[in-house]
């Protein structure tokens, strides 16, 4: 099949490259001419495992092309995926739909001029009712066009795998023809056994928001339990194992730590609350406000624990921060808990030096007042406390005895629960982790 993908950000570029890899002929569209030129040369604008190789392969095959012209996209195919961003609206918790609206408004006249049935498929995360509103807006110009919604469930760091081997596909459609088109589009995945859940557009829109809200709730729940463990002398790790073995709950993502960040979970739970309140249903999702607050509190708790380990004050103290990306495997620093902690300590007078295997350039662009290092020993040189804030595998491989030769004080806070506490303590380090008071100092 032939299809276009409007927007070449995280979702759009991965979707375009993966659909081309499945055998479709794909035209990626973006207003940013520099980005399009770079993509045409095989250069991805962000780090995502496997994407660079996939981009090169599909470009060389001729199945993936790029353009800045939505008119060219309208002529290219009858199926158009809209993958533009829906960030949090400035000054509000609601989703900002300007980019979605702009894409539809620019595409609509080209669709009208071509005539004939076509399908516009939204993948952006939007408030419930957006598809219906967009279809009314589209029909004023191109009455033959139809809107469907096909939410994405990508995890950054696993985006290529999640697209080519998804746990499920959700399609919100209003006609058998739209249903058949999307089933044909995803036929290779359906043959491999991927569940295909066909529903109405409103339900499809809510699925993504509900999934992210539940995940955020699960993360904040176990962090709240870790806080109780700290206060009551219990150990959160055996608690996680015991609770997670309940099949009604499960252990996946029941991992205490610094909490969630990135471009999805924080804005999605806030957006759902804002939309529910607009509908007079704020009480139904009021718990999500506390989920958000628990997550934000983890950052404050990290700063407080770091200050204790540093001797009670950050003044004239050097703090080494291991991690800048909001999760390992990517270079995305949007709403990064690690950088929020680093910036908070800097504001309190600490001298902060940050290391990350992939995200240093992005972090420096956002926080130029922080110091950055290209290797771990340099980041930790003269440190009074080391903070492990992003769970990169490289940090698990650090030799604690070797690192002790460069720090001023052997104190580490493992805010991601991925380091071997016994190994660090045997090397003479004061080791602290959320919810594990039995580890001592």
Tell me which residues are annotated as active site.
264
Dihedral over alpha carbons 362, 351, 308, 388 (to 10 degrees):
30
Q: Which residues is 81 bridged to in the sheet?
A: 5, 121
Kindly state the helix (H) or strand (E) to which residue 34 belongs, with its residue range: helix 33-40
Phi, psi for 198 (deg, rounded to 5): -100, 125
Q: Which residues is 82 bridged to in the sheet?
A: 6, 122
DSSP string, 290-346: HHHHHHHHHHHHHHHHHHHHTTS--TT-EEEEE--SSSTT----TT-HHHHHHHHHH
Dihedral sign, CA of 400, 405, 407, 411?
positive
Q: CA-to-CA distance for 211 and 231, rounded, in angstroms? A: 31
Strand spans (E) along 143-216:
145-149, 169-172, 196-199
DSSP string, 63-132: SEEEES-HHHHHHH-SEEEE----PBPTTSSSB--HHHHHHHHHHHHHHHHH-S-EEEEE-S---TTHHH
Q: CA-to-CA distance for 389 and 379, rounded, in angstroms? A: 13
Report the length, in residues, of the chain. 441
* End-to-end CA gap in the chain: 61
Reported for 181-187, long-range contacts at CB under 8 A and 24+ positions apart, including other chains, are 181/79, 181/119, 182/121, 182/148, 182/150, 184/1, 185/1, 185/3, 185/19, 185/24, 185/79
* β-pair type (411-414, 64-67): unpaired
Rounded alpha-carbon distances, angstroms, from residue 119 to 35, 100, 140: 26, 15, 15
């Amino acid at each position: 099949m032939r299809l276009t993908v409007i927007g070449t950000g995280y979702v759009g570029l991965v979707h375009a490259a993966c659909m081309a890899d499945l055998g479709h002929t794909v035209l990626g569209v973006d207003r940013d001419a520099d980005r399009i030129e770079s993509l045409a040369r095989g250069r991805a604008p962000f780090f995502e495992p496997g994407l660079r190789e996939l981009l090169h392969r599909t470009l060389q095959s001729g199945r993936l092309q790029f353009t800045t012209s939505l008119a060219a996209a309208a002529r290219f195919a009858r199926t158009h995926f809209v993958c533009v961003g829906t960030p949090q609206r400035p000054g509000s918790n609601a989703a900002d739909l300007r980019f979605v609206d702009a894409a539809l408004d620019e595409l609509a006249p080209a669709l009208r001029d071509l005539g004939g049935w076509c399908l516009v498929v939204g993948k952006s995360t939007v408030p419930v009712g957006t598809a219906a509103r967009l279809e009314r807006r589209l029909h004023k110009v191109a009455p033959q066009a139809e809107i469907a919604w096909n939410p994405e469930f990508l995890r950054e760091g696993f985006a290529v795998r999640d697209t080519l081997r998804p746990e499920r596909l959700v399609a919100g459609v209003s006609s058998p023809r739209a249903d058949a088109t999307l089933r044909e589009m995803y036929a290779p995945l359906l043959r491999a056994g991927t569940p295909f859940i066909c529903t109405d557009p409103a339900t499809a829109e809510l699925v993504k928001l509900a999934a992210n809200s539940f995940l955020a709730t699960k993360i904040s729940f176990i962090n709240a339990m870790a806080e109780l463990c700290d206060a009551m002398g219990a150990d959160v790790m055996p608690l996680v194992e015991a609770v997670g073995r309940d099949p009604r709950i499960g252990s996946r993502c029941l991992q205490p730590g610094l909490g969630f960040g990135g471009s999805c979970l924080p804005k999605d739970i806030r957006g759902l609350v804002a939309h529910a309140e607009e509908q007079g249903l704020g009480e139904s999702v009021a718990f999500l406000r506390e989920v958000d607050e628990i997550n934000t509190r983890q950052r404050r708790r990290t700063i407080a624990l770091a200050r204790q380990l540093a001797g009670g004050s950050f003044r004239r103290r050097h703090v080494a921060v291991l991690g800048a990306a909001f999760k390992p495997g990517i270079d995305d620093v949007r709403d990064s808990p690690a950088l929020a902690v680093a910036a908070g300590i800097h504001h309190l007078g600490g001298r902060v030096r940050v290391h990350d295997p992939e995200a240093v350039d992005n972090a420096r662009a956002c926080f130029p007042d922080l110091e950055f290092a290209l290797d771990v020993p340099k980041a930790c040189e003269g440190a009074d406390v080391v903070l492990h804030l992003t769970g990169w595998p490289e940090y698990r491989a650090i030799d604690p005895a070797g690192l002790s030769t460069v720090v001023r004080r052997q104190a580490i806070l493992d805010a991601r629960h991925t380091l071997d506490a016994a190994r660090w303590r045997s090397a003479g380090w004061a080791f602290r982790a959320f919810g594990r008071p039995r580890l001592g100092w």
